Amino acid sequence: MAPILEVKGLRKEFKGFALKNISFTLERGYIMGFIGPNGAGKSTTIKLIMNLLKRDGGEIKVFGLDNIKHEKEIKNRIGFVFDENYFYEELTVAEMKRVIAPLYKNWDDGAFNRYLKKFSLPPDKKIKELSKGMKMKFSLAVALSHNAELLIMDEPTSGLDPIIRSELLDILTSVIQDENKGVFFSTHITSDLDKIADYITFINDGRIIFSCPKDDIFEKYALVRGPKEILNAGLRQYFVGIKENRFGFEGLVKDKHQLNKMFKDGIVIDKPSLDDIMLYFTRRVQNV
């Protein structure tokens, strides 16, 4: 079966920023976290997948179909949640549903009503009167009410309180119980991904740094601390980024096994968080 989402050599140029040949693949049954600092190209990539931006080169296939040639069919099978509300604020929840529902071939009114109840969303309330969390829940209710096979989410947790974020993550975990579905989820709150993501794709300055299973990342990468005396040019080459102070250094290495072989003593090797990885890749070298 074709991957649920496949991006190959995707290019897009803007004045002062470019996506440079980015590639990654998401198989059915998995959640992929798409991480990177602000301005790295996450939203641009998502907009290209949704054909809101025109690509300059490369290929995007969703359900094995080209995202432009089969745009309507693909969008019938995609649920989207964006970082801010794009629904008509002047309409009530019920009115907005009335406009959107007939556009989907597989709209399920029963499922939508169940989500309204579950999320305590009042159908007669105008969308502008909903809180940010409630607006996100409404987006999610729409995304989950037409039997979408792929959920595409652009920073859905940004600006939400921890309780709503946790609820969202629980919902995504239950969605993925159906092994035919997939979730592509961009965020810079990497702790969310520690809990639910199977794959992590890291983008920085328009380039994919890595796209691999989350467990592989923690298997390879390590946070290393040690005294300044041992930090010579030979050692430095193993680091993605280093922070130094008067007493010692802390840095991120790509291959902790190699470093383990070289230094039996004198250094401390820790498991990095996704935040650490993002930080070291973004800043590279920082003297403290």
Partner 1 sequence: MFNLILKDILIQKKTFLFGAVYIMIIILSFQQIGSPMVPASIIALTYVMTQYACAYDDKNKADILLNSLPLGRDTVVAARYLSTFVFLAIAVVYYIVLAGIISVLRLPVRVYPVSFEDIAGCLFSSIVMTSIYFPVFFKVGYIKSRMVNFVLFYGLFFVGGMLVPELVKDKNSELAKWTTRLFSNQWDVHIIAGAFIITILFLSTSYMLSLKFYRNREF
Residue 125 sits in the site that holds partner 1 (CB under 8 A): no
H helix or E strand, kind and range, residue 243? strand 239-244
Binding mask 29-68 for partner 1 (x = CB under 8 A): ------------------x--xxxxx--------------
Residue 71 sits in the site that holds partner 1 (CB under 8 A): yes
Q: Of 91, 196, 217, 269, which lies in the binding site for partner 1, with binding defined by CB under 8 A?
A: 91
| Cβ-based nearer residue to partner 1, 82 or 185 | 82
List of residues 6+ apart from 13 with CB closer than 8 A: 19, 56
51 three-class SS: coil
List of residues 6+ apart from 117 with CB closer than 8 A: none
Least distance between partner 1 and beta carbon 86 (Å): 4
Question: What is the rounded distance in angstroms from the CA atom of residue 178 to the CA atom of residue 239?
Answer: 40
CB 186 within 8 A of CB 154: yes
Quick one: which segment of 76-84, 171-179, 223-231, 263-271 binds partner 1 (CB under 8 A)? 76-84
| Cβ-based nearer residue to partner 1, 150 or 259 | 150
| Cβ-based nearer residue to partner 1, 100 or 269 | 100
Alpha-helical (H) ranges within the chain are: 42-49, 71-76, 93-100, 109-118, 132-144, 162-175, 190-196, 214-220, 233-236, 256-262, 274-283
Q: Of 17, 56, 59, 98, which lies in the binding site for partner 1, with binding defined by CB under 8 A?
A: 98
Question: What is the rounded distance in angstroms from the CA atom of residue 160 to the CA atom of residue 93?
Answer: 20
CB atoms within 10 A of CB 222: 22
203 three-class SS: strand
Residue 158 sits in the site that holds partner 1 (CB under 8 A): no
Q: Of 2, 39, 59, 99, which lies in the binding site for partner 1, with binding defined by CB under 8 A?
A: 99
Residue 108 sits in the site that holds partner 1 (CB under 8 A): no
Residue 16 sits in the site that holds partner 1 (CB under 8 A): no
Q: Of 3, 11, 25, 95, which lies in the binding site for partner 1, with binding defined by CB under 8 A?
A: 95
Question: What is the rounded distance in angstroms from the CA atom of residue 218 to the CA atom of residue 28?
Answer: 23
| Cβ-based nearer residue to partner 1, 181 or 214 | 181
Residue 204 sits in the site that holds partner 1 (CB under 8 A): no
Q: Of 18, 65, 100, 111, which lies in the binding site for partner 1, with binding defined by CB under 8 A?
A: 100
Least distance between partner 1 and beta carbon 44 (Å): 10
Q: Of 8, 104, 158, 212, which lies in the binding site for partner 1, with binding defined by CB under 8 A?
A: 104
For residue 265, count CB atoms less than 10 angstroms from its CB and return exposed for 0-12, middle for 13-18, buried for 19 or more. Answer: exposed
**In the structure encoding, which two tokens stand for residue 104, read together?**
């989907």
Which parts of this chain interact with partner 1 (CB under 8 A)?
47, 50-54, 71-73, 75-76, 80, 82, 86-91, 95, 98-100, 102-105
